[in-house]
Amino acid sequence: MGAVLYIPCDAAALAVGADRVECAFSEELARRNVEFEIIRNGSRGMHWLEPLVEVETERGRVAYGPVTPADVAGLLDGGLLDGADHPLCHGLTEDMAYLKKQTRLTFSRCGITDPLSLTHYKQHHGFLGLQRALKMTPAEIVQEVTDSGLRGRGGAGFPTGVKWNTVLKVQGEQKYIVCNADEGDSGTFSDRMIMEGDPFVLIEGMAIAGIAVGATKGYIYTRSEYPHAVAIMRDAIEIARKAGILGDTVMGSPYAFDMEVRMGAGAYVCGEETSLLNSLEGKRGIVRAKPPLPAIEGLFGLPTVVNNVMSLASVPIIMDRGAQFYRDYGVGRSHGTIPIQLTGNIKHGGLFETAFGLTLNELVYDIGGGTLSGRPVKAVQVGGPLGAYFPPALFDTIFDYEAFAARDGMIGHAGIVVFDDTVDMLKQARFAMEFCAIESCGKCTPCRIGSVRGVEVIDRIGRGDQPEEQVELLRDLCDTMKMGSLCALGGFAPYPVLSSLNHFPQDFHLKSLTEAAE
Amino acid sequence: MALQTQLSEVEQQTFAIIEELRFREGPLLPILQGVQQKLGCIPEDALLLIASELNLSRADVYGTMSFYHEFRQEPAGRHVLKVCRAEACQSMGGEKLANDIQSALGVSWHETTADGKVTLEPVYCLGLCACAPAAMLDGDLHGRLDEPAVLELVEGVK
């Protein structure tokens, strides 16, 4: 047997040259008359080491990274194929501290397998959850998911089982499973990584959801900014269809389930579930008032489960290992694991799946290694563009839905963006309002007009134009947006603004506030 | 199709896309995306044909098209460079990078260089937040960028 190398096809690896590295290895190995196979796996999630090349050895897979095309000849001369030591070598991949500290449940296969190999998928516990689900009644599946304590990973944290139960109980000539893969939050890429690195797990999760609630059709709504995820997901669906996993009889059962990938067109607000449904229907992505809940009147007015990618991709392991197994991870009312994305100005950026309960201190410093620039951390934004900025003084906050809410923040889609001390928090506050103005769907006044006024007020503060009065106005405006907006876009845009103002008053040039904070 | 008049080339191509997608649930977005991919934009003739074939008003189709940032009624330059403006890229100097690119190319956001080569668009997150700053040139992603790297990319296309 020839040499076996793994070079990721994940978009983050491609963005830093994985294809060029693959080319260099192919050419160099052919030139040396070495028999070889290169498997394009998903990413292990250690993005600072991408492109991360792994080679199969008797001891296990050995990792090298970040590899550039110029390194290839030298690596091969130095004995890469035998897993020999080298300045770029990190030893056995599975022994790397960053991976060893994780609890990979949802991402158990990501980075290990060829994303489009059904054989790999089955070799690594694939379809065991679906097989078990097929032996249960729909009500029993819903109960299992409810008992696992799984909460919506998109940000709102609503119990997944409760949502499913509503759809199960309501009558409808057609029901839908809609996967919200419109991952627009800056600082997040876990949905993208699973779609590119382990697409069958999402297919399996959606099929289980369909069987559980009586839905026969599923849609994955994702972003046009994710062309690789779209292509891999579409290929995977086609493979699953041909293998009889999707179609009229799911794995030979009496259940039918099929699915399709749809793309957005660059509108952040379509990540909001009702806006997403309108967009899927071919309309403007305008937010709908709730009630009616999508569970009752969703896509085309029919009962619809709308779940985030991470929620659906966590279902197979819950069904395979049982509710109790999953539930035992985590703290308080946050059960299971959460794939945390460490991003921005951070030394060891990437994806870190762990049980709920780590502190921001552990995540930013112990795991993330502090800033990439080497300067002190000034702030982190958790939960995307609508998430609060936390100063290091609050880094004892644990990663848990309630702990973040108690400090006027949210974990959202679990992205952490790290900023060093060169960041100007007034600018960040202004950007939050500017972004809201650009992306507002326009249906409700607090969001549509409030965000524009927010930018103007912050600009006046920046110019020192009656700053104390303007801050009072800004707080009042934020209050109106929080209380009066129809959805989370206008409702949460004030969080990054107010947190900047409260935790970093010096950046707003406010003497009285600075004194009060001291 | 029962149209009496001769179809223009734009209409013919649009019609083929409509025919392929019209029986899908909620076909409007996939049709608009198909037309833009084929024609580089969504010309007025295409818009009118889509409206009549889907039994929608022109206002419905125009309203949908204009809601989404990506659809355009005029063609872009030969290449589209999307530079991320979101927070994770900001934390790694993304704002300065975007400003430098604008000066170097002599365009602002949504504008096309004088030679018609590159249209510069902002994008809010490419999901490359752990290798920021990031950009996308046509369909290709690029991370850990600085100004020389971006200009090299632009130089590399015709």
A370 touching B (Cβ < 8 Å) = no
Mutate to test the interface with A, among B57, B96, B123, B131 (most CBs of A within 10 A): B131
Nearest chain B residue to A286 by CA distance is B67
The DSSP bridge partners found for residue A352 are: A340
Helix (H) or strand (E) holding A480: helix A467-484
Report the C-alpha gap between A389 and A381 in whole angstroms.
Answer: 4
Q: For A3-20, how does the pLDDT look when each residue is reduced to its tens digit (9 = 90+)?
A: 999 999 999 999 999 999
* Contact by Cβ (8 Å): B29, A284: no
pLDDT band for position B4 (cuts 50, 70, 90)? low
Q: Give the distance, in angstroms, between the CA of residue B49 and the centroid of all CA atoms in the same chain.
A: 21
For residues A130-151, give the mean pLDDT: 98
Helix (H) or strand (E) holding B137: strand B135-137
Report the C-alpha gap between A188 and A45 in whole angstroms.
Answer: 12
- In this predicted structure, what is the pLDDT of residue B158? 85
Cis peptide before A292 (omega within 30 of 0): yes
Residue A211, pLDDT above cutoff 70: yes
- In this predicted structure, what is the pLDDT of residue A178? 98
Number of A/B CB contacts below 8 angstroms equals 153
Residue A55, pLDDT above cutoff 80: yes
Could you tell me the CA-to-CA distances from A292 to A168, A289, A295, A304, A490 in Å, in that order?
16, 7, 8, 11, 20
Report the C-alpha gap between A26 and A65 in whole angstroms.
Answer: 17
Instruction: Provide the 10 A C-beta neighbour count for residue A82.
Output: 12
Q: Between B25, B30, B91, which is nearest A344 by CB?
A: B91
The DSSP bridge partners found for residue A330 are: A335
Report the C-alpha gap between A126 and A109 in whole angstroms.
Answer: 9
Report the C-alpha gap between B59 and A399 in whole angstroms.
Answer: 47
Q: Between A187, A265, A420, which is nearest B87 by CB?
A: A187
A216 touching B (Cβ < 8 Å) = no
Q: For A299-333, how does the pLDDT look when each residue is reduced to its tens digit (9 = 90+)?
A: 999 999 999 999 999 999 999 999 999 999 999 99
* Contact by Cβ (8 Å): B33, A265: yes
Cβ of B89 within 8 Å of Cβ of A265? The answer is: no
pLDDT band for position B46 (cuts 50, 70, 90)? very high
User: What mean pLDDT value characterizes chain B?
Assistant: 95
Find where tokens 């530079």 sit: B83
Q: For B71-91, how does the pLDDT look when each residue is reduced to its tens digit (9 = 90+)?
A: 999 999 999 999 999 999 999
- In this predicted structure, what is the pLDDT of residue A249? 97
A175 touching B (Cβ < 8 Å) = no
Cβ of B124 within 8 Å of Cβ of A385? The answer is: yes
One-letter amino acid identity for A505? P
> What is the DSSP code string of A432-459?
HHHHHHHH--SSSHHHHTHHHHHHHHHH
Residue A517, pLDDT above cutoff 80: no
The order of strands in the sheet holding A176-181 is: A258-263, A217-222, A176-181, A304-308
Report the C-alpha gap between A211 and A218 in whole angstroms.
Answer: 11
Helix (H) or strand (E) holding A418: strand A415-420
> Which of A159, A142, A141 is closest to A150 using CA atoms?
A159
Structure tokens at A16: 């830093």
CB contacts of A428 in chain B (<8 Å) are 87, 90
For residues A164-175, give the mean pLDDT: 97
Q: For A388-419, how does the pLDDT look when each residue is reduced to its tens digit (9 = 90+)?
A: 999 999 999 999 999 999 999 999 999 999 99
